């Protein structure tokens, strides 16, 4: 019956509210549904996993809000850069090890907000270390191929993708948006963009609704096959943000209304795949 745990952090001024919202947006948190009334406003930030923990005895030397991450050094770099650009009254600690097999750092934002970011020292518990990409888009070039059909959906997907890229360090001039009539045309434009050599990854965005066409499966299969073939034959990472839904309501939910934004997820996957390719090309896998 339990569905989720929500931690509420109260702010005293609009400036403090905007500061916290900006900080967590810069770190890559997915924006949830906000609210606003005559008494105040709220902005939620979503995480894939939540825990409620009780402690008997001394509390850990950290804030009461702990955020687990998978690349602590990268998160600290992003946090430090944002703090320098947006506030002079904050404090960020150095990364330190704990006695519970982890590393962490703490950010203190005025007047009384404190957050600790941490990761396991050995997250794989002795298993072989996996090579994976980082979520920093600095210096990367992207093409976003997005269909105009059902623009009420695809525009939301596009905004989610741009949000993920720009908050991860991509520059606007390194992101090219290619609009095509519908999902059927996506593979052709994606292949052309990949073959141009101007992009490190291709992000494909579109939507197919079963109720709108009698040959739904045929179109979907060809679109998926075309995108996959383009990726395999060009060697350029392609990410799949083409929604396949029964109804318009389902598509809206997956475009940021209730179930996250598939465009954001596709862009984040593109960043990670470019990073992974670069590590493989530079021999990082042998380190």
**Residues with a known catalytic role:** 215
Tokens of 92: 């960020």
Residues belonging to the chain:
287
DSSP H stretches of helix in the chain: 14-26, 72-86, 151-167, 186-196, 216-234, 248-254, 262-281
d(CA 117, CA 197): 38
Q: How many CB atoms lie within 10 A of CB 132?
A: 12
* b/e 51-63 (16+ beta carbons within 10 angstroms → b): eeeeeeeeebebb
Burial (0-12, 13-18, 19+ Cβ within 10 Å), 88: exposed
Tokens of 22: 């900006």
d(CA 234, CA 277): 13
Q: Residue 67: name the closest of 86, 53, 87 by CA.
A: 53
Decide if 220 contacts 244 (C-beta within 8 A): yes
Find residue 240's DSSP bridge partners: 204
Residue 239: partners with Cβ closer than 8 Å, 6 or more residues away = 201, 202, 203, 204, 266, 267, 269, 270, 273
């Amino acid at each position: 019956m339990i569905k989720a745990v929500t931690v509420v952090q109260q702010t005293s001024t609009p400036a403090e509210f905007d500061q916290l919202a900006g900080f967590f947006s810069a770190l890559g948190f997915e924006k949830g549904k906000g609210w606003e009334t005559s008494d105040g406003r709220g902005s939620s930030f979503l995480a894939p996993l939540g825990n409620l923990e009780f402690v008997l005895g001394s509390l850990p030397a950290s804030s009461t809000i702990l955020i687990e991450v998978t690349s602590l050094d990268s998160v600290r770099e992003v946090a430090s850069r944002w703090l320098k650009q947006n506030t002079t009254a904050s404090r960020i600690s150095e990364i330190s090890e704990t006695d519970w097999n982890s590393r962490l750092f703490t950010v203190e934002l005025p007047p009384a907000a404190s957050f600790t970011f941490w990761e396991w020292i050995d997250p794989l518990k002795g298993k072989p270390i996996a090579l994976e990409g980082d979520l920093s888009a600095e210096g990367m070039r992207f093409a976003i191929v997005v269909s105009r059909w059902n623009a009420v959906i695809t525009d939301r997907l596009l905004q989610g993708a741009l949000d993920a890229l720009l908050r991860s360090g991509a520059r606007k001039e390194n992101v090219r948006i290619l609009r095509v009539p519908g999902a059927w045309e996506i593979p052709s434009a994606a292949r052309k963009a990949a073959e141009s050599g101007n992009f490190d990854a291709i992000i494909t965005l579109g939507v197919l609704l079963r109720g709108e066409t009698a040959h739904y499966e045929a179109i979907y299969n060809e679109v998926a096959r075309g995108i996959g073939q383009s990726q395999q034959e060009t060697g350029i990472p392609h990410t799949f943000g083409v929604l396949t839904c029964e109804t318009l309501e389902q598509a809206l939910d997956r475009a940021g209304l209730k179930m996250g934004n598939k465009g954001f997820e596709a862009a984040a996957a593109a960043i990670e795949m470019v990073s992974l390719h670069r590590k493989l090309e530079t021999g990082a896998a042998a380190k």
